[in-house]
C-alpha cells in the first residue's frame, strides 16, 4: 500500500500533467478554430442579408448561454435547431461560414464566467467550430442536390421540403456525434480515463437532437418560402424547444432531490446504510 507521501506526490504530478495538457489542448483547439474560420472566409461568401445572420447568431448565443443540465454534466439547448434553421436559410454557398461564425460566439457559459475558467472556453471554441463545420458541410453537400433554381439562387419548393428536413436531421446527428467524440477525447487526454464516466450518457441526447435538426430544416424551408414574416413563428418554436429542455431539467432536479431526501431519511433510521448508498435498493 503506497504511503501518504507517495499518494500526495502522485496527485501533484497528476495535476501538473493536467495543467500541461490543458495548455497544449487550448492552444491546438484555438489554432484549429481560427484556421478553419480563415479558410472558410477565403472560400465562402458571408450570409446575406447581414441582419438575418445577426438574428440567428443572437438566438444561438442566447440558447448556448441558457443551456440546462439534462444529465450528469451534460448541458442541452435547442441551439442545434437554430443552427440547422440558419444553415437552410443561408443556403449551401454561405451556410458553413455563417454557422461556424455563429458557433464561435457561443463558447461561454455562466459557469465559465463565475469560475473564471479559461480552458473550457478555449477548447469549446475549436470544438464547436469543428463540429459545426463538419455538420454544415454535410448539410451543404446534401442541400446542393435538393433544390437550386435555374438562375443559381438557392430556393426550396414545397415538394422538396421533406427532403430538406431529412438532411437537416442527418446533419444534426453528425453534429452530435462529432461533439461527443471531441468531448470524450479531450476529457480522456486531459483528465484521464477515470473521469470519462460522466460523459457516458451523452448518447441519450441523440434522439431529440435528430428531431431538432429535422424541425430546424422545416423552419429554414419555411423562411425561404414565406420570408421574414415567418421569423416570429420561428422564434416561438425555438423557445418551445428550450422550454421542453428546461422542464425536463427541473423534473430531473426534483427527482434527484427526492431521492437524496429518501436516502438521508433511510440512513437516519438504519445505520447499515449510512454512508453506503449502494445498499439502498
Question: Model confidence over 263-275: pLDDT tens digits?
Answer: 666 666 655 555 5
C-alpha cell of residue 271: 445505520
Specify the pLDDT at position 205.
65
Alpha carbon of 115 to those of 63, 120, 150, 193: distances in Å? 20, 11, 53, 24
Quick check: 130 and 36 in contact, CB under 8 A? yes
The CA distance from 81 to 176, in Å, is 12
**Which comes out higher in pLDDT, residue 47 or 11?**
47
**Which comes out higher in pLDDT, residue 75 or 204?**
75
Domains along the chain with CATH numbers: 21-246 (1.10.1760.20)
**Residue range 170-187: mean pLDDT, rounded:** 87
Q: What's the whole-model pTM score? A: 0.80
**Which comes out higher in pLDDT, residue 40 or 251?**
40
Average pLDDT over the chain, rounded to an integer:
80
- With pLDDT > 90 as the criterion, what percentage of the chain qualifies? 33
Amino acid at each position: 500500500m503506497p504511503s501518504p507521501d507517495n499518494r500526495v506526490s502522485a496527485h501533484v504530478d497528476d495535476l501538473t500533467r493536467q495543467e500541461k495538457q490543458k495548455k497544449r489542448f487550448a492552444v491546438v483547439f484555438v489554432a484549429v478554430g481560427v484556421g478553419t474560420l480563415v479558410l472558410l472566409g477565403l472560400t465562402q461568401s458571408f450570409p446575406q442579408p447581414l441582419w438575418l445572420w445577426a438574428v440567428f447568431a443572437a438566438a444561438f448565443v442566447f440558447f448556448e448561454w441558457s443551456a440546462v443540465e439534462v444529465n450528469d454534466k451534460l448541458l442541452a439547448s435547442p441551439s442545434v435547431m437554430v443552427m440547422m434553421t440558419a444553415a437552410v436559410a443561408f443556403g449551401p454557398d454561405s451556410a458553413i461560414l455563417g454557422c461556424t461564425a455563429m458557433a464561435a460566439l457561443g463558447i461561454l457559459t455562466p459557469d465559465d464566467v463565475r469560475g473564471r475558467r479559461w480552458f473550457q472556453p478555449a477548447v469549446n471554441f475549436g470544438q464547436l467550430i469543428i463540429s459545426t463545420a463538419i455538420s454544415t458541410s454535410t448539410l451543404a453537400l446534401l442541400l446542393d442536390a435538393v433544390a437550386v433554381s435555374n438562375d443559381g439562387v438557392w430556393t426550396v419548393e414545397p415538394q422538396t421540403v421533406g427532403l430538406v428536413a431529412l438532411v437537416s436531421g442527418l446533419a444534426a446527428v453528425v453534429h452530435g456525434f462529432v461533439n461527443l467524440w471531441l468531448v470524450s477525447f479531450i476529457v480522456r487526454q486531459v483528465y484521464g480515463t477515470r473521469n470519462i464516466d460522466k460523459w457516458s450518457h451523452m448518447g441519450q441526447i441523440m434522439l431529440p437532437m435528430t428531431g431538432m435538426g429535422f424541425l430546424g430544416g422545416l423552419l429554414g424551408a419555411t423562411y425561404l418560402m414565406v420570408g421574414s414574416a415567418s421569423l416570429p413563428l420561428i422564434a416561438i418554436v425555438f423557445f418551445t424547444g428550450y422550454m421542453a429542455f428546461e422542464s425536463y431539467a427541473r423534473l430531473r432536479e426534483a427527482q434527484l432531490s427526492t431521492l437524496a431526501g429518501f436516502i438521508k431519511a433511510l440512513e437516519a433510521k438504519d445505520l447499515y446504510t449510512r454512508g453506503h448508498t449502494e445498499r439502498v435498493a
